[in-house]
Amino acid sequence: MRRIVSILFVLALFSTMPLAAETINGILLDNRCSAGIVKKGYDAAKMHTKQCALMDQCKASGYGVVEADGRFLKLDAKGNKQAVKALEGTSKKSDITVTVDGTVKGDTIQVSSLKIT
């Protein structure tokens, strides 16, 4: 019994520890277009346009970042709001490179900051 309590205590301790923050660099894509683009590779992602990413359907789908190695991470709700604001404020028409700081959980990043670079 004591061993079980000790194991549960250790598990509880680790579950409350914050995950390490990461910096993700890549191309900002809307989720609606991402599946087809990511399959074509990073260079295809660079060609995705701001105009497309800001279409109503694309905005509604949310956003993510494709990294150079092909990994695609979806942004959380806070990150989606920051992505729209950043897209609306940039003069770039394509090759929307971003730096995102946050915590990765599975295939999603909980965003603390997002900046178009």
100 within domain boundaries: yes
Please give the pLDDT value at position 6. 57
How many domains does the structure of the chain reveal?
1
4 within domain boundaries: no
What does the pLDDT look like over 16-30, one tens digit per residue?
Answer: 445 678 999 999 999
Output the CA torsion 98→22→29→50 (10° steps).
-20
Domain extent, residue 33, equals: 19-116
Q: What is the mean pLDDT of the chain?
A: 90
Output the CA torsion 82→77→19→25 (10° steps).
-40
Q: Are 38 and 26 in contact (CB under 8 A)?
A: no
Place of tokens 């990413």: 53
32 within domain boundaries: yes
